[in-house]
Amino acid sequence: MTSRTISKGILRAMAIILGIVLLLFFLYKIQSVIVYIVIASIVSLIARPFIKFLRIRLKFPNTIAVVTTMILMLGVLAGIFVLFIPLIIEQGRNLSLLQIDQLETDIQNLFSQITNYFSSKGIDVLGELKNIDLTSQFKAIPNLLNYLLETLGSLSIGLFSVLFITFFFMKDNRLLKNGIMTLIPDKTESRFSKSLETINDLLSRYFIGLIFQIIILFVLYTIILLTFGITNAVVIAFLCALLNLIPYIGPVIGFVIMLILSMTSNLQQDFQTEILPTTIYVMIGYFIAQIIDNFASQPIIFSKTTKSHPLEIFLIIIIGGLLFGILGMITAVPTYTALKVILKEFLADNKIVKSLTKNL
């Protein structure tokens, strides 16, 4: 091997590394666009069965079916906006105009009742918390809400972009597929195309299943919170249901949020006779809702839509979380499902692949 050959090899390796670095830098710069495309793809997958229903069953032209679907989706989005945003703004206004002195008095009264209650039981676990300045934490809430409202302006651009891309993805369901196929070698194009069709079908059912899971939990949480007279029950229920999109961690965060908001919804009431029993009942209801979700909703969504064993799904979510954090946990199941389909198409004779994809 001559020095010239070695030099060419080194230059080629450096060129490849430089190309990869430039590609990663480019992808980093357009990450917002990539996020828009991913969200638009998910929305179009969710809308896919409804568009098919309008086209096949009701004989709608493709464009009319897509426009009708978009209008309905925008109607749902507007309904959520009309339902929740005014309540959030009202809460922000109330917090901005909040009488800090009165709030401090209420918190101190609640803290005193909690301390006395646990002291009567011989428990002094709250003794170390007496010096915490809770009022200062509440003073920071209005600033946070103002920041969130300012962020809505920039989010409007993202919303328009997603809607625009979604419309064309729904109008031509082969648009994204054709874009992906341009990157695939000709000799594997037909097999990869078949894999994409299967992936689209499985992920469409998976995302629709997630929506039904959120709706079921939202209804259960709302009933529980309304039953016990918790303030802003609908908003709390929606937020806690939405957090279930984060596997395993989401329900824990939702539990903490519901616990805190249940206790603070009526600070004027007596802790031992009113606040504590109500909070306990709400938490019992929360656990019952989680049991229904874990043993009824999730097995149907994960097992039926992704054709995977519950233990398999659990391990994949944990691995995704260890590698990429919360985002990895959220995307673990759809990513794993897509990978299984591709492996079955291209490595069907592999023993491990056969075992993992036997239900596909």
How distant is the alpha carbon of residue 308 from its chain centre? 20
State the pLDDT confidence band at 98, using cuts at 50, 70 and 90.
Answer: very low
- Cα 257 to Cα 101, 102, 327, 329, distances in angstroms: 24, 23, 20, 20
* Mean local confidence (pLDDT), 243-250: 84
Judge whether 83 and 180 are in contact, CB under 8 Å: no
Query: Does residue 176 belong to any structural domain of this protein?
Result: no
What SS3 state is found at 87?
A: helix
Q: Which of 245, 216, 217 is nearest to 331 (CA)?
A: 245
Percent of the chain at pLDDT exceeding 70: 77
Q: Does residue 222 lie in a domain region?
A: yes
pLDDT digits 0-9 by tens, 284-323? 999 999 888 887 777 777 777 777 877 888 888 888 888 8
pLDDT, tens digit (0-9, with 9 covering 90-100), for 52-91? 888 888 888 888 988 899 899 888 888 777 766 666 665 5
- Within 8 A by CB and 6+ apart from 50, the residues are 69, 72
Residue 103 has pLDDT above 70, yes or no: no
Q: Report the C-alpha gap between 81 and 329 in whole angstroms.
A: 27
Q: What is the mean pLDDT of residues 27-40?
A: 84
169 found inside a domain: no
CB 164 within 8 A of CB 33: no
Within-domain flag for 118: no
Overall domain count for the chain: 1
- Residue 293's pLDDT is 85
Q: Is residue 81 part of a domain?
A: no
**CA-based nearest residue to 81, from 7, 156, 165:** 156
> Is 37 strand, coil or helix?
helix
Residue showing tokens 């989680």: 290
d(CA 310, CA 302): 7
| CB distance 306 to 206 below 8 Å | yes
Residues 315, 305, 234, 163, Cα dihedral to 10°? 110
What rounded mean pLDDT belongs to the chain?
78
Residue 223 confidence (pLDDT): 92
Between CA 282 and CA 274 the distance in angstroms is 12
Give start and end residues of each alpha helix (H) in 53-188.
62-96, 100-120, 134-171, 175-181
Residue range(s) defining the domain that contains residue 291: 186-360
More reliable by pLDDT, 274 or 167: 167
Say if 248 falls within a structural domain: yes
pLDDT of residue 110: 64
Contacts of 169 (CB under 8 A, 6+ apart): 40, 41, 43, 44, 175, 176
Give the confidence band of 122 by pLDDT, cuts at 50, 70, 90: low
Helix segments in 172-248, DSSP class H: 175-181, 189-227, 233-242
pLDDT for 193-242, tens place per residue? 888 888 888 888 888 888 888 899 999 999 998 888 887 788 888 888 98
Q: Rounded to whole angstroms, how far apart are CA atoms 257 and 329?
A: 20
Q: Indicate whether 272 belongs to any domain.
A: yes
Asked if residue 160 belongs to a domain, the reply is no
